[in-house]
Amino acid sequence: MSDNDTKKPTGDAQPPPKGAPTDTPAAKIGSEPSNPPAGAKLDNPPAAASGPTGTPPPKPPSGPPPKPAPKNPGFITATIDGKEVVVKPGTNMIEAAKAVGSDIPYYCYHPRLSIAANCRICLIEASNAPKMVPACQTPMAEGQVVKTTTPKVKEQQRAVMEFLLLNHPVDCSICDQAGECKLQDYYMKYDYRPSRLEGTKALKNKRKVLGPRVVIDQERCIMCTRCVRVMNEVAKEPQLGVFGRGSHERIDVFPGSELNSNYSLNTVDVCPVGALLSRDFRFKARAWFLSATPSVCTGCSRGCTTYVDWMSQDSYRYRPRENEAINKSWMCDEGRLTYKYLNLGRVLQAQVGRRANRAGEAVPVTTRKEAAQAAAKALRSVQGSKQLAVLASPLASNEDLLAGLNFAKSTLGVSTVYVGGRPSGAADHFLMTADKNPNRKGLELIAKGLGLKLETFDALTTALKAGTVKALYAIGTEVPGNVDAFAEAAAQLDVFVAQAFTESAITAQATVLLPASVPVEDEGSFVQQDGIIQRFRKAYPPKGDVVPGWEWVRELTSELGGESTWKRAVDVWRELAGKVAEFAEFNWEKASPADREKPGINPLPAGADGRPAGYREFGTPRVRGI
């Protein structure tokens, strides 16, 4: 449902890793020029090109023009709306026009998909064509003069809009796409007239469940076939097709099958209207209530670049954010739905003493200060002892790990760190990897940089069984093994200080439980499996008593007599990243777009605090099913 195909490139430009896919759309559209100017991208022609030139190029003479000599060798020079534009050969008109600030509307075109040219709203006038040409399909030609705002073009756009809306139900009031719908936007921009339809509209399926995650409203579909192409070309699982003709044409799954690909939600993203909708997000929020914050998917070690859409203190969905190096414009469904752990099952309260031992009793309120003091007291007794082990989770951010492992080494005096994290799962043919932890690479780099030895989780289980470990300091309580077995083993520990964000049998065994924040509640960075470092931003303040992991470390350090003055995650990075060679070149401050980048979708103007209406009377909004 996102419009991410129209996004400007984000600041996440990273050196592409070795094995990254190379089938860029550019490869489909035209051949790469032999010597592209530095920084030139598909939709980023040379800077000189975008500026308006004082002298418009001479009008091409009538009749079959002699092939003009290229003005800029190796590039195409043409004129769009009176402005000169220099692009790589093969660049289509839409991208070229974008470069000079002329917006050509489009529905079926997607920079990362093949060209279908079936919606016809992009028709514009070109000097070398007798009729209007589809801008999405036509590459720029040398000396061409393109006009996108003539009355003829405008009338064409209006006519296309009228036809598209002829049978469209316009039930925006119950349509999840409303607010980020191209039909709405273009209607306001290019049509803005009442319908002249006098008969009844064609009735189709309004609510057909296509698969476990996608539902379609065929009436709203404008038959752009983006969804079909996405399934064919990106997911490479052709599960959708076009059926019927004329007014009865519709998108559907093939009989007897369903849309169950792990990339099915990408069809929802590319659908320019509200035809394909996510069943998970259905009716949960209106798009304009949500704010978007640049983030990173924590579902697997691919680390897809995302936006997290949130309201109040809840996350509602992930959307892929364009990143050429990692995920292009796509995401897998499984990762997309992992946002739920940000909201539910969270550890929100600090706790001293094992909760498992006092089931049913009222939990005494423990302040953060008390918890930090209790943790420091417990850890002081085992400082430097061989019985103390440290468990680090590759789900934690670089900053948490830097702070925590540095603390473990210099204050607690350990030299080995056991690696926890989510157990491995299935990988698939495109993006999803088997390692379900977003920051294993980061953990490895940091341990190396700090000179700590990494041990597997199994080693820890063995040590626990052997009884050589009596105290455990855990940065994250996810374990790759059997949770209950580990919880049982942890019950034998004298000291178990755990920073955790999700409740589990293990957190119930913690003698001191410190609630830690999840990625959307603080900023930080991850290193994905190919070594690309990515920033994620803070969307909203932590829930409950939660503070970021590095802040717990700061508290513990000062309780144990050390000194630590970190105020923000960046302070941790500045102080400690120098120890890790691989982090040297990463510019933390500049590494990601600013917070809340989502044009058009902002918190309510009246409630600048981002609360939903009526929030005060109901406390935290109860969002179904998140």
Partner 1 sequence: MAYKVSKDPRTDIRERTYVPNLLRGLGITAKHFFRNLFGTRDTNTQVVDRTGASLMTTVAYPEEKPIYPEGYRGLHRLVPREDGKPRCVACYMCATICPAQCIYIEAGEYEDEASDSEDRVIEKYPTQFVIDELRCIVCGLCVDACPKDAIRMDTYMHTPPEYTRQNFVYDIPKLLKGAPVSHPSDPWNKREGSEEPHHVHKEAHTRIGEGLVELKLPHGEHGGHGKALPAGAQAGHQAVVTQQGPIQVTKFIK
- Chain residues that interact with partner 1, rule: CB under 8 A: 166-167, 171-174, 178, 192-194, 196, 198-209, 218, 247-248, 282-284, 286, 288-289, 604, 606-607, 611-615, 617-618, 622, 624
User: Which of partner 1, ligand FES, ligand SF4, none has residue 193 at its interface (CB below 5 to 8 Å by kind)?
Assistant: partner 1
95 vs 522 by CB, closer to ligand FES: 95
180 vs 521 by CB, closer to ligand SF4: 180
Q: Does 227 bind ligand SF4 (CB under 6 A)?
A: yes
Q: Count of residues binding ligand FES (CB under 6 A)?
A: 12
Partners of residue 276 on adjacent β-strands? 216
210 vs 417 by CB, closer to ligand SF4: 210
Rounded to whole angstroms, the Cα distance separating 226 from 114 reads: 9
- Residue 179's SS3 state is coil
User: Which of ligand SF4, ligand FES, partner 1, none has residue 136 at its interface (CB below 5 to 8 Å by kind)?
Assistant: ligand FES
341 vs 615 by CB, closer to partner 1: 615
Cβ-proximal residues to 170 (8 Å cutoff; 6+ apart), any chain: none
The minimum distance between CB 287 and partner 1, in angstroms, equals: 10
On whether the CB atoms of residues 296 and 19 are closer than 8 A, the answer is: no
The minimum distance between CB 330 and ligand FES, in angstroms, equals: 20
In 3D space, the residue among 419, 417, 387, 394 whose CA is nearest the CA of residue 405 turns out to be: 417
Question: Binding marks (x or -) toward ligand SF4, 135..174, rule CB under 6 A?
Answer: ---------------------------------x-xxxx-
| Contacting residue, 87, 108, 419, 475, with ligand FES by CB under 6 A | 108
Partners of residue 139 on adjacent β-strands? 92
Helices then strands (H, E): number in the chain? 16, 22
The minimum distance between CB 185 and ligand SF4, in angstroms, equals: 9
20 vs 172 by CB, closer to ligand SF4: 172
The burial of 497, by beta-carbon neighbours within 10 Å (0-12 exposed, 13-18 middle, 19 or more buried), is given as: buried
On whether the CB atoms of residues 405 and 450 are closer than 8 A, the answer is: yes
Q: Does 532 bind ligand FES (CB under 6 A)?
A: no
The minimum distance between CB 101 and partner 1, in angstroms, equals: 21
| Contacting residue, 224, 417, 506, 510, with ligand SF4 by CB under 6 A | 224
Residue 406 identity (one-letter amino acid): N
- Residue 583's SS3 state is helix
CA 375 to chain centre: 36
Q: Does 2 bind ligand SF4 (CB under 6 A)?
A: no
The CA dihedral of 586, 589, 592, 595, to the nearest 10 degrees, is: 160
- Residue 319's SS3 state is strand
Tell me which stretch binds ligand SF4 (CB under 6 A): 127-135, 223-231, 433-441, 521-529: 223-231
| Contacting residue, 181, 308, 443, 539, with ligand SF4 by CB under 6 A | 181
Question: Binding marks (x or -) toward ligand FES, 115..154, rule CB under 6 A?
Answer: --xxxxxx-----------x-x------------------
- Helix 368-382 / helix 549-559 crossing angle, nearest 10 deg: 60
Query: Which alpha helices (DSSP H) does 261-360 contain, by range?
Result: 265-270, 333-336
Q: Considering only CA atoms, give the Rg of the chain.
A: 28
Kindly write down the DSSP assignment for every residue of 403-419, as one continuous string.
Answer: HHHHHHHHTS---EEEE
Tell me which stretch binds ligand SF4 (CB under 6 A): 16-24, 225-233, 329-337, 398-406: 225-233
Rounded to whole angstroms, the Cα distance separating 416 from 396 reads: 18
- Helix 569-576 / helix 398-410 crossing angle, nearest 10 deg: 60
- Residue 372's SS3 state is helix
Question: Binding marks (x or -) toward ligand SF4, 228..267, rule CB under 6 A?
Answer: -----------------------x----------------
| Contacting residue, 104, 164, 273, 304, with ligand SF4 by CB under 6 A | 273
Q: Does 215 bind ligand SF4 (CB under 6 A)?
A: no
| Phi then psi dihedrals of residue 312, to 5 deg | 60, -125
Q: Does 114 bind ligand SF4 (CB under 6 A)?
A: no
Rounded to whole angstroms, the Cα distance separating 591 from 524 reads: 11
Residues of this chain that bind ligand FES (CB under 6 A): 106-109, 117-122, 134, 136
Provide the binding-site residues for ligand SF4, judged by CB under 6 A. Answer: 168, 170-173, 175, 177-178, 181, 183-184, 220-227, 251, 270-276
